[in-house]
Structure 1
């Protein structure tokens, strides 16, 4: 490129020299014209793309900042806990497995858990039903004095004025937990569709297939509730519990045969804790014959 430019300059100089020494006035005018064009052509204007590039760079910066803001906003939305939209409450008392007392907004309310039914323990017209105490104990262990979130789904209250709700504890739906544990049946589907119905059906099926708790007794769970025959058995067990005067709480810490001095003491504890229908301490071994800790002296 530099060699071509040099050749052009030499050629132009030779032409100018010829024109200057020519005696025609038109030649001199033509020389002046050529010199003007040469000077103008030698000026180096600022490239138009420079400013445009600066604008593009600024625009790009703005877009980048907007993207960062949008991404930050998106991350904030993703980080939000949907449970924060539900009112907070504290469970002050467990009445039974599916009924609790809560304090919310400075007011005490009774809550009846949606879509679940646990065996009765305090029904005025029914005896204590198998696994009723176990469901109540599970609720106490999970909820007593704990903060929960209250989710409504359909009518807010029942005919007794109790709140109808799901209770969320540590990010888990307690209603569903009862079904998963085989401590409640799916019931009272009065106003479908319900938000968590499908998940509840699956939870109940898993418990039933695993023969957990209420599902371990043939014919115990019915469409209308729990078998009265099984309730009679549990009622006798409750009487035995009231008669028990041993050193351990039947619904307390887990016990094994080594905690008892005699088989009779272990047997009394076993029956007070629910007998063969429940056996939460697993004292009956693998034979399930209703006689526990047979290696202990009588």
Structure 2
């Protein structure tokens, strides 16, 4: 009878070890795949639930807000159907800004509010009211996401026009009107324009208090501004 050496014995046992090792690896891989699939399913369900909650979320009613915060003039619930959310990417002048929204990037002009030009007719820069209006709008709006109420008409340059609404706690304020209230813009009259009555009141108050553009007699004209008075 032939004697089996240790080397022969090792060769006979080695395949069995490989089989056991392969089975162990397969079990581990199967378990990892199940865990990964479970995590993926959980993430997908969580994202779906989050999307459903966001879709169902509606702005709080005026009554609910007033119960918590007191008097609220213009809550988001009254603006939701007439505005779009935009982000101001650039401020060109006090009444002219560039926004990015559902229509891409576009230049818009504030309706009813006309600020002095930054560049004067002689090509020089207005370092008085034009620059002050530009700097104020830049400090308030640039880089900010807010609500834009689009008007039906465009201005003479083909820019879209409309009203900017800024959130103020539970309320929203009309930025166009704010420029007029501060004496940084004059009202461009339009008999059937939205908000015209309250804008007229804002201008009358700024004029009575001689704020900024109203501090120089004759500077504000029916057609715009008399820049010669600044020279």
Q: TM-score, normalization: structure 2?
A: 0.62
Q: Which residue of 1 aligns with 2:130?
A: 132
The C-alpha deviation readout for 1:205-264, integer Å capped at 9, x for no partner, is: 111111110111111111111113124x2xxxxxxxxxxxxxxxxxxxxxxxxxxxxxxx
CA drift at 1:169 = 1.0
C-alpha contact 1:88 1:150 (8 A) present in aligned 2: yes
Q: Which residue of 1 aligns with 2:95?
A: 98
| Cα-Cα RMSD | 2.1
Q: 1:161 aligns with which of 152, 158, 161?
A: 158
Identify which of structures 1 and 2 has the higher relative contact order when contacts are C-alpha pairs closer than 8 Å and 6+ apart.
Answer: 2
C-alpha contact 2:151 2:160 (8 A) present in aligned 1: no
Q: What secondary structure, in the 3-state scheme, does the structure 2 residue paired with 1:199 have? A: helix
C-alpha contact 2:61 2:77 (8 A) present in aligned 1: no
Structure 2 CA distance, aligned partners of 1:152 and 1:206?
A: 26
Q: Which residue of 1 aligns with 2:80?
A: 84
CA drift at 1:161 = 2.7
1:121 aligns with 2:118: yes
Q: Which residue of 2 aligns with 1:110?
A: 107
Residues 84 and 132 (structure 1), Cα distance of their counterparts in 2 relative to 1, 3 Å cut? same
1:176 aligns with 2:173: no
Q: 1:152 aligns with which of 136, 150, 156?
A: 150
Q: Which residue of 2 aligns with 1:187?
A: 188
Residues 106 and 193 (structure 1), Cα distance of their counterparts in 2 relative to 1, 3 Å cut? closer
Q: Which runs of 5+ in 1 are unaligned?
A: 1-74, 234-298
Q: What secondary structure, in the 3-state scheme, does the structure 2 residue paired with 1:152 have? A: strand
Q: Which residue of 2 aligns with 1:23?
A: none
C-alpha contact 1:111 1:163 (8 A) present in aligned 2: yes
Query: Which residues in structure 2 correspond to 1:17-56 (within 5 Å)?
Result: none
**Larger C-alpha radius of gyration, 1 or 2?**
1
Give the structure with the higher percent strand: 2
CA drift at 1:160 = 2.7
The C-alpha deviation readout for 1:169-203, integer Å capped at 9, x for no partner, is: 111111000000000001153xx411210010000
C-alpha contact 2:86 2:148 (8 A) present in aligned 1: yes
Structure 2 CA distance, aligned partners of 1:162 and 1:103?
A: 14
Residues 150 and 218 (structure 1), Cα distance of their counterparts in 2 relative to 1, 3 Å cut? same
Structure 1 CA distance, aligned partners of 2:61 and 2:114?
A: 38
Q: TM-score, normalization: structure 1?
A: 0.48
Structure 1 CA distance, aligned partners of 2:62 and 2:219?
A: 46
The C-alpha deviation readout for 1:144-164, integer Å capped at 9, x for no partner, is: 111111113342x23433111
Aligned length: 155
Residues 132 and 77 (structure 1), Cα distance of their counterparts in 2 relative to 1, 3 Å cut? closer
Q: What secondary structure, in the 3-state scheme, does the structure 2 residue paired with 1:153 have? A: strand
Q: Which runs of 5+ in 2 are unaligned?
A: 1-59, 65-75
Q: Which residue of 2 aligns with 1:214?
A: 213
